[in-house]
């Protein structure tokens, strides 16, 4: 068989995906073609004709996507910041909205000024936030926690890939971020905490890609979406060093509630709500401030040393 126009194969794919109810049929059709050809999506126009074998392979991939298998499980990767994470069954696919938490963390570290900052990523999944921070800040000491063994295996393999590429290795811990005895050795030492915990309220209606593929333990946070975040905030209070800060992603219905969880505690100040790209409430930032007693103690230490 002779070579065929790529454009026609893509048009066919768009209609197959549209028929299957895929939310962004053209983008997905183009990304699958680009993945198969090993090129950027923006360069597809430079490939007029493709081999019949490529068309067959493409149709097979499109058929998988039409079954509402997540695009990233088919291509095998999902980006975060400047890196790509390997993903597949058993691990949550990193989402674009989490890039905002990454952006906040990097900007905070920039302004914070401390060299070799200690960073803690809770519910790391594929390792996305931890590894993207380690890539952008080679001087950081990055710890990451994951509960699920399957997800942890993906994080471990992504961490090995990044270390091979020359990034500073991260420290992975298996653990439950709601456990009050987790990582006691890090108490009072962490400069930045980031978290994309399970936060969808139970019973929410989700797209099949999410409901049938992302691990449920990575998605649902109890009846109100706060069952992981609530105890996690107590732990963040233990881990942060005075002056450090945390960013916690949450359901768009829970902005005020998550802000309140931080604001209730005297150890947190400067609590701010942040929207995602669609303008919905998406993450809360809080700073670890000195309590009255800590401030008093700091003042008396200063006056003693001044004498």
Query: What are 131's two structure tokens?
Result: 């590894």
**Residue 199 marked in a binding site:** yes
Rule CB under 6 A: is residue 196 a binding residue for ligand GLN? Answer: yes
Give the nearer residue to ligand GLN in terms of CB position, either 141 or 195.
Answer: 195
Q: Which stretch binds ligand GLN (CB under 6 A): 27-35, 64-72, 160-168, 192-200?
A: 192-200
Q: Give 154 or 199: the residue with its C-beta nearer to ligand GLN.
A: 199
Residue count, binding to ligand GLN (CB under 6 A): 9
| Cβ contact 155:171 at 8 Å | no
d(CA 69, CA 178): 31
- Which stretch in 39-47, 59-67, 197-205, 293-301 sits in contact with ligand GLN by CB under 6 A? 197-205
Give percent helix, percent strand, percent coil of the chain, each to the nearest 5.
45, 20, 35
Would the annotation count 198 as a binding residue? yes
Should residue 198 be labelled a site residue for ligand GLN when binding is judged by CB under 6 A? yes
Contact window for ligand GLN (CB under 6 A) among 41-49, 159-167, 179-187, 195-203: 195-203
Q: Are the C-beta atoms of residues 198 and 219 closer than 8 Å to each other?
A: yes
* Complex with ligand GLN: residue 199 or 262, whichever CB lies closer: 199
**Which of 219, 237, 242, 271 is the binder for ligand GLN (CB under 6 A)?**
219
Nearer to ligand GLN, 58 or 220 (CB): 220
Report the residue from 26, 41, 95, 156 that binds ligand GLN according to the rule CB under 6 A: 95
Note the helical H segments in the chain.
Answer: 6-19, 25-37, 52-66, 71-75, 98-112, 128-136, 149-164, 208-213, 216-219, 229-239, 255-263, 292-306
Contact 33, 42 (CB under 8 A): no
CA angle 282, 284, 286 (to 5 degrees): 170
Structure-block tokens of residue 140:
């950081």
Annotated binding-site residue numbers for substrate:
196-199
Query: Residues in the site for ligand GLN, rule: CB under 6 A?
Result: 95, 97, 196-200, 210, 219
């Amino acid at each position: 068989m002779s070579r065929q126009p790529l454009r026609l194969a893509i048009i066919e794919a768009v209609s197959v995906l549209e028929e299957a109810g895929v939310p962004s049929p053209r983008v997905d059709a183009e990304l699958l073609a680009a993945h198969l050809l090993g090129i950027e999506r923006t360069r597809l126009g430079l490939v007029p004709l493709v081999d019949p074998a490529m068309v067959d392979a493409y149709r097979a991939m499109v058929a998988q996507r039409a079954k509402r298998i997540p695009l990233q499980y088919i291509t095998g990767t999902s980006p975060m910041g400047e890196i790509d994470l390997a993903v597949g069954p058993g691990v949550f696919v990193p989402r674009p909205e989490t890039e905002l938490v990454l952006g906040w963390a990097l900007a905070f570290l920039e302004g914070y000024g401390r060299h070799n900052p200690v960073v803690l990523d809770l519910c790391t999944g594929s390792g996305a936030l931890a590894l993207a921070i380690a890539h952008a800040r080679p001087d950081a000491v990055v710890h990451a926690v994951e509960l699920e063994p399957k997800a942890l295996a993906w994080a471990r393999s992504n961490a090995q890939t990044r270390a091979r590429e020359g990034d500073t290795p991260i420290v992975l811990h298996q653990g439950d971020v709601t456990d009050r005895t987790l990582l006691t050795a890090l108490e009072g030492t962490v400069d930045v905490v980031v978290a994309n915990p399970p936060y969808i309220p139970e019973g929410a209606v989700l797209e099949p890609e999410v409901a049938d593929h992302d691990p449920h333990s990575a998605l649902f946070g109890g009846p109100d979406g706060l069952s992981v975040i609530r105890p996690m905030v107590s732990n963040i209070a233990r881990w942060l060093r005075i002056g450090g800060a945390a960013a916690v992603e949450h359901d768009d219905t829970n902005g005020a509630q998550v802000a309140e969880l931080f604001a209730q505690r005297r150890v947190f100040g400067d609590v701010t709500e942040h929207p995602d790209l669609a303008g919905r409430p998406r993450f809360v930032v809080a700073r670890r401030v000195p309590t009255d007693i800590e401030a008093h103690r700091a003042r008396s230490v200063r006056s003693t040393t001044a004498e």
